[in-house]
């Protein structure tokens, strides 16, 4: 049995998942490959895309999804993660969790007899990163491109480092000092990059980092759970906004990506979100198609 807690968990399957997603996208209702399978979805934090795309994915594949907010579960009243996990394994075929602490998802998976999927933690957002790589290939027809992530080296950035280095994509992270991605993840990505022939860089210099970028990616400056640091973050990240001036420093055919939700006027400007180079809405749609491929890979064969 396989879990998807980190992008590293599917390093052997990544190209199969991306190819399967392409097939599934062509015929959204034509593959009832999870007939009678049930996915439980536990949310400790808010979600629009992750919740809806997983729920619709299960329905289109012939299965069913259960939305479970932590506050409605006994988990929210202190029932142990271990006990929740053991019990859920008796009812459902897979569990997707969006949690505050990555270690809680790891703990849940350790006690689960069914596959567990990370729907975002403080450390990673693997489903998002796989979607992003898929979207880049869809737009650029190759993985051999240069992706520049601008802003906070957060969960999305961490998973993108792992996914891009696995498929042979160059990635530069442009962020202020002390907002770098996780050190262990950078090292892991560099080791993947050695094998795949790509380059991983981290810099504080935005014009340096964005030069030659084929993809310009950003995410919020204040992630869920970091609201008490808002003032400090807005100040420190102020020079790392993706606006038209910055976008002009990238390659002329660069695409713009954002995992959403976006805060216009902070990490990105309205004109960039809605410009012709923006791939943001296709990227959001692709969560549905890529997650179907993830679900089939984990639940279909289990
Ligand atoms: N990108 C993303 O995961 O969006 P949600 O928080 O709306 O699920
Ligand atoms: N970094 C953001 C991503 C939201 C999808 C957060 O964790 O809130």
Can you tell me the distance from the alpha carbon of 206 to that of 151, in angstroms, rounded to the nearest whole number?
A: 9
- Per-residue pLDDT reduced to its tens digit, 274-294: 999 999 999 999 999 999 999
Per-chain mean pLDDT for the chain: 97
**Residue 302's pLDDT is what?**
53
Nearest CA, atom 4, ligand 1: 49
Atom index in ligand 2 nearest the CA of residue 226 equals: 8
Q: Are 5 and 109 in contact (CB under 8 A)?
A: yes
Tokens 């954002």 locate to 258
pLDDT over 60 at 177, yes or no: yes
Q: What confidence category does residue 109 fall into, taking pLDDT thresholds of 50, 70 and 90?
A: very high
Does the C-beta of 128 come closer than 6 Å to ligand 1?
yes
Can you tell me the distance from the alpha carbon of 134 to that of 103, in angstroms, rounded to the nearest whole number?
A: 27
Does the C-beta of 259 come closer than 6 Å to ligand 2?
yes
Domains of the chain in start order, with CATH, are: 7-125+286-299 (3.40.50.1370), 128-283 (3.40.50.1370)
CA-based max dimension of the chain = 54
| Those residues with Cβ within 8 angstroms of residue 4's Cβ, 6 or more apart along the chain or in another chain | 10, 115, 116, 117, 118, 126, 127, 294, 298
Q: If we measure between CA atoms, which residue out of 118, 120, 56 comes closest to residue 292?
A: 56
**Residue 46's pLDDT is what?**
97
Beta strand ranges found along the chain (DSSP E): 38-43, 64-69, 94-98, 116-118, 146-150, 170-174, 200-203, 215-218, 255-258
pTM of the model: 0.98
Atom index in ligand 2 nearest the CA of residue 49 equals: 5
Torsion on CA atoms 14, 15, 17, 19, rounded to nearest 10: 170
- Per-residue pLDDT reduced to its tens digit, 35-72: 999 999 999 999 999 999 999 999 999 999 999 999 99
């Amino acid at each position: 049995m396989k879990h998807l807690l980190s992008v590293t968990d599917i390093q052997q399957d990544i190209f199969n998942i991306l190819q399967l997603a392409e097939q599934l996208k062509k015929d959204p209702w034509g593959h009832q490959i999870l007939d009678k399978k049930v996915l439980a979805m536990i949310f400790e934090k808010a979600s629009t895309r992750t919740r809806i795309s997983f729920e619709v994915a299960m329905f289109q594949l012939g299965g069913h999804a259960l939305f479970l907010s932590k506050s409605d579960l006994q988990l929210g009243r202190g029932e142990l993660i271990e006990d929740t996990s053991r019990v859920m394994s008796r009812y459902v075929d897979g569990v997707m969790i969006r949690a505050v602490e990555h270690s809680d998802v790891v703990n849940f998976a350790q006690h689960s007899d069914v596959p567990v999927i990370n729907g975002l933690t403080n450390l990673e957002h693997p489903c998002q990163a796989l979607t992003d790589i898929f979207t880049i290939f869809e737009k650029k027809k190759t993985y051999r491109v240069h992706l520049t992530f601008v802003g906070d080296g957060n969960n999305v950035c961490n998973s993108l480092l792992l996914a891009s280095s696995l498929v042979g994509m160059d990635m530069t992270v442009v962020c202020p000092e002390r907002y770098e991605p996780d050190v262990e993840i950078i090292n892991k990505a560099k080791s993947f990059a050695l094998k795949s022939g790509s380059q991983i860089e981290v810099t504080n210099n935005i014009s340096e980092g964005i030069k030659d970028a084929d993809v310009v990616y950003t995410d919020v400056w204040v992630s869920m759970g970091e609201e008490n640091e808002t003032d400090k973050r807005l100040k420190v990240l102020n020079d790392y906004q993706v606006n038209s001036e910055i976008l002009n420093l990238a390659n002329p055919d660069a695409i713009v990506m954002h995992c959403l939700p976006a805060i216009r006027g902070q990490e990105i400007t309205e004109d960039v979100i809605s410009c012709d180079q923006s791939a943001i809405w296709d990227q959001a749609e692709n969560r549905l198609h890529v997650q179907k491929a993830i679900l089939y890979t984990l639940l279909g064969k289990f």
